Structures are given as structure tokens and as C-alpha cells.
A and B are shown apart, each in its own frame.
Chain A
Amino acid sequence: MSQPQEKTAASAGEMTSESPVEATTAANAPSGPASARRSLLPGNTLLRHLVILAVCAVGAVALLELTSPFRNSQFAVLAYYAIAAGGLTVLTGLNGQISLGHGALMAVGAYTTALLLGAEEPLPLAVVFLAAVGITLLLGAVVGVAAARLHGPYLAGATLALAVGLPGLALYYDDVLGGEQGLRVQSPRAPEWFQGFIGFVSGNNATTTKWLAYVGVICLLLTFFLLANLARSRVGRTWRAVRDEEVAAELAGIDLGAWRVLAFVVSAACAGLAGAVLGVVIRLAAPSGFTIVLSIALLTAIVIGGLGSLLGALLGSALLVFLPPFVTNLGADLGLNNTEAAQLAPFIYGVVLIIVMIAAPAGFVGTIRLRWLQARGKRAARTAQG
């Protein structure tokens, strides 16, 4: 009984003594076993995640059926942001590598989707998505091999160059990729069975928008389910070891480079899927949609949530979706014109990045979790003394 408590206390103490808080602190916090013991969830990780997945799926259906078509489309946007942010969480949070190239990787997914769906006889959506993931994954492997040998500012600079350079290809191959205008995406209509399903569940109108929102949310849930299992598996532990204890990990015979490449590949696959979802939801793949601001927005999402926390990535992504309309309206009320007001959101992303890094590098979720662990640690220490 007292053993797990002691463990938690020790790790909480460890974190408080680390004076300049690493941005990745949230990822260090043990989340599973300690809390699982108290809750009704099963102890087995896979089983627990399956239960959570099922609950989330039911919740998502309820959410999508109880909200307006406009909200549905917002959830679709949330889905692709969160998929990409989840992938970035693996890379930056668990493995400690930064990437500003995820916007560009999303572009690869979106363009692949646009090209495949634009064919005379388009393949099934799932196959198209898999192809988008596959191609982005391959590119991610190439980038990852280079990235594995870089760190911090070097990696940031190299991926920044990728983000600025890759859209140039769309201009160079403008006969295939559509140049500045980009490619229209022929988003598929809702299939029969989906209309039946919606009719059965809520009786709502099964529009294409609704179908795409479901596609996004399904992709999101599957991605997070896989990422959560990965993070809690031996793979996730090794990534953390590669991040925190580079030397020790290497001495233990861990091939640092290979693990970094793997993290980049997983993360790129997520970005590819996110791009594919973006493509069908926005119905356009154009260079202007994948600027450096997109990559930094994703970074903001994972930093706000706390690097390394999937829940944080989801909350951060929600902010990316719901904050811009809010602040744009606010800006319009303050007398800014439309284009000026539209810049308020990126302005806030930047300011938030700065403030979070200075004031609470562990992020929102991470800070709360740290506080909670510290409080528990103190309580445990007090009972041990008493």
C-alpha cells in the first residue's frame, strides 16, 4: 500500500529540485499506475486504453450529434490539428526533438490526398488516407535520418528551412501541383451506411460536413489510441530515456539515432494523416495553407498543453480552433479591419509561447500535474514522518 506512494513522492521531489524546468517536464510525470489504482479503470494498459477509447467514441458521437453543423466542421478542424499535435507530442515531448517542418509534412499528406481523390476512379477514402500516411512517413524517415543527428537550434533551423522550402516544389511542379492556387480536393460524399447510422442515432441530416467531421474524429481517436499505447510501452520509455539520459541510454546499448528516426517517422505519419484530413475538410491543398505559422501554431498547441501529454495536445488544439474566431471578433469590436483582426490569433500564439516558456515551462496540463504530484509527495512525506 505504501510502496506506490513513496515512489510518487520520490519522483515529485526529483522534479522540484530541477531548477530551470525543462519544457518536457510534463512528459516525466508518471500518470498511469498511480491513478489507475484509485480509479475504476482496469490495471492493464491496453485494456484501460480500450475502455477510454470506447467511452471517447460514444462521447464524440454524442457531441457531434448534439451540436450544430458549424460546430461539426469546427470539430473536424480540431481533429486534424490534434492528430498533428499528437504526433508532435511524441517527437518533441517524448523524444525531445523539435520540428518546425510538421506544417510541410501535413502539406505532403494533403497534396497526396488531393491527387489521389482527383483521379478518374478514386480509391476508397481509407486507402487514400493510408497512402497519404505512407508517403509522408517515407519523407519523414528521410528527414528523420538527418534530424536524428541534430539537436535544439540546429534541428529547429533545419526544419524551418524545410517548412520554407517545400512549398516551393508546388510552384516548381505547378502543372501537377497547381502552383500558387493549389489543388481542389474532391471530398467524398457520406456513404449509405453512414446515413443509416446517423438516422438511427439522432435522426439528424447526414451531410458531407457531418461525414467529414466523423472521418476526422475517427482518425483522431485511432491515432490517439495508438499513440497512447506507444507512449506507455517499452518504445515510449526508450524515447524518454533517449531524451533525458542520452549518455546512459547509449551505454545501455540503445541506438540513439535509430530511436530518434523512429520518433520522427511516427510523428510524420501523424502529420500525413492530419494533412489528409485537412485536405478533405478544407477541400483545398495550397501552399498558403501550410506556412510556417501552421507549424508554430502546432508547437503552441503542444506547449500550452504541456510537452509530452496527449491530453494537453488535444486541449491545445482545441484552443487553436476556438480561440481565433473569438479573438478575431474581439479585434473587430476594437475597430480592427478583417485582415488585421485575423492576425490577432497568431499574435496570441506567439505571446502564449513566450509566456508559457517563461512562467510555466511544463505547460498547462504539466503544471497542474506537477502541483498535484508535489502535494501528494508532501502528504506522503508527512504520513511517513508521523
Chain B
Amino acid sequence: MAGATSASSAAGGTATGSATAVPVLEVTDLSASYGPVKALDGVSLRAETGRITAVLGANGAGKTTLLRTISGLVRSTGGRVRLGDEDITRAPVEAMVQKGMAHVPEGRGVIAELTVDENLRVGSLFRGKVGRAEFDRVYDLFPRIAERRGNPAHTLSGGERQMLVIGRALLARPRILLLDEPSLGLAPRIVAQIFGLLRQLVDEEDLSVLLVEQNARSALSVADVGVVLNLGRVVVTDEASRLIADEDLRHAYLGF
């Protein structure tokens, strides 16, 4: 198993290392623990501009911990995280967004007591004054939340909340977007709509997405690269299309 793992991640490396080989985010040998429990055990991966990288795996595989460790919410116990040319392993959480990384946490992360518009404004606070046009662009992308901009965010539906937090993250003009389980609890139609939009954003702008998903089938349908985690370790890294084709792997780790 160990041999297969290293072979396929090497293959993944060459496969992704072709045309757009600029890693925005590079995670090397990252480890993290909750007390005595090792949640991440030497995870390495890279995310590149213009690509969606999906992190897949069962419940408890360490997917959410991986994102939280990358953005500094969980302290790493070993390894490195690089954003572009910069080592951000020990950078404070509050500084990440300034450096170009936007993290949308699990459970959507709207601030329920604030209005839709205020939620967006919080997302742009660190940039100083931001023109109205940028807000309008987010509202153009998500007309459904535009109608509700004056309402408190706790009145939004699950899909609307997801649109709001993605829109809010975009206002930070990130180089990389970390998304934690965006499909959770949403109707398939809404999931398809949101994933379609992500694809469009990544294709049209200088954006990279690191997507954590339990719903591997939908995630691989939109992603370029898949990273499969199991018990805090990377099992395999490969092109999404090849992961879908590998039936044994799908049955063993992806549950479809």
C-alpha cells in the first residue's frame, strides 16, 4: 500500500506539473494533533492557480483539520505551509486573508446576527475602503442574496448562506479559496449550481480552490485534482478523472 501511495503521488506531481505549474499553496509533511490523537500525519499537497483541488475521504479522515491547520486555526506539530513564495506555517489566522488565502469554514460561517450586506462588508474590512462596484459584482453573481441584502443572515436558507460566504470570500480577492464541505445539507440542484459557479470563477480569474468534500462524486465532477485522505495520511493524489476511473479506490475510500 505504501509503495502504491508514493508512486501515485509522484505521478500526480508530474501530471499537475505541466502547463500551469505554479503552486499557490504548497503543504509539505504537515502534522497536527488533538491531544494524544494524531489528526494529520505528514500530509503533503499542492494547489495551483486555475485548478480546483478536492480533498476527499471519509468522516474523520482529517479533511477539516487539514484546512484548519493550513489557515492556522489548529496549530501544526510539524511540516510546512507555503503560500506563493512565503512560508505561512506560523502566521496568525488574522493575517491569512491579507496574504491571499480565504477560508470558508465548515457550517457556512455566516455571522447570523449581521445582515447580508454587513457580512459582505466584514469580508472586505481588512482592505480598507472598497468600492461599491465590488459588492455589486458579488450581488450579480448571486442575485438571490442581492434581494435580501438588508435582512439578517439567520433568515437565509442553506444555499443562500453558502452563496453569501463564497461571495464574502471573493471580496477578499484571494489567490486561493479554502472551502470546507460546501455541499453539506444542500439540495443536489443547488450543489451543482454552486460547483458550476466555482468552475467558472477558477477558469476566468486567477484563482485556485482547495475543496474539502465528503460528497466525493460531486466534488470530482468539478475538480481537476483529487487528494484522498485516510486517518490523517494522504492515500493517493491524482487527476480527478483517473480517480473516478479507479473503481477499487472509489469503493475503498470514496464510498461510491
Contact = CB atoms under 8 A, between A and B. Distances in A.
A and B touch in the complex (CB under 8 A): yes
Contacts of A13: 36
Nearest to B35: A17
A339 interface: no
Interface string A1-27: 000000000000100010100000000
A19 B36 CA distance: 11
Contacts, number: 4
Interface residues of B, number: 2
Chain A: number of interface residues, binned into ranges: under 10
A226 B110 CA distance: 53
Interface string B10-42: 000000000000000000000000011000000
B232 to A, nearest CB: 17
A13 B36 CA distance: 9
B204 to A, nearest CB: 44
A349 to B, nearest CB: 34
A17 B35 CA distance: 6
Interface string B150-185: 000000000000000000000000000000000000
Contacts of A19: 35
Interface string B197-223: 000000000000000000000000000
A39 B35 CA distance: 34
Nearest to B36: A17
A25 B36 CA distance: 19
Contacts of B35: 17, 19
A86 B36 CA distance: 36
Interface in B182-201: none
A19 B75 CA distance: 14
A385 to B, nearest CB: 15
Contacts of B36: 13, 17
A134 B178 CA distance: 63
A311 B115 CA distance: 53
Nearest to A14: B35
A255 to B, nearest CB: 33
A382 to B, nearest CB: 16
A212 B35 CA distance: 53
Contacts of A17: 35-36
Nearest to B37: A17
Interface in A221-246: none
Interface string A155-171: 00000000000000000
A146 B59 CA distance: 42
A361 B246 CA distance: 53
A158 B187 CA distance: 46
Nearest to A16: B35
A13 B37 CA distance: 12
Nearest to B34: A17
A17 B36 CA distance: 7
Interface in B65-88: none
Interface in A9-64: 13, 17, 19
B38 to A, nearest CB: 13
A114 B35 CA distance: 56
A13 B35 CA distance: 10
Nearest to A18: B35
A22 to B, nearest CB: 15
A305 B157 CA distance: 51
A19 B33 CA distance: 13
A231 B43 CA distance: 48
A296 to B, nearest CB: 34
Interface string B30-60: 0000011000000000000000000000000
A7 to B, nearest CB: 18
B68 to A, nearest CB: 16
B33 to A, nearest CB: 10
A327 to B, nearest CB: 41
B7 to A, nearest CB: 35
A19 B35 CA distance: 8
B60 to A, nearest CB: 17
Interface of A: 13, 17, 19
4 contacts: A13-B36, A17-B35, A17-B36, A19-B35
Among all A-B residue pairs, the 4 with the closest Cβ atoms: A17-B35, A17-B36, A19-B35, A13-B36
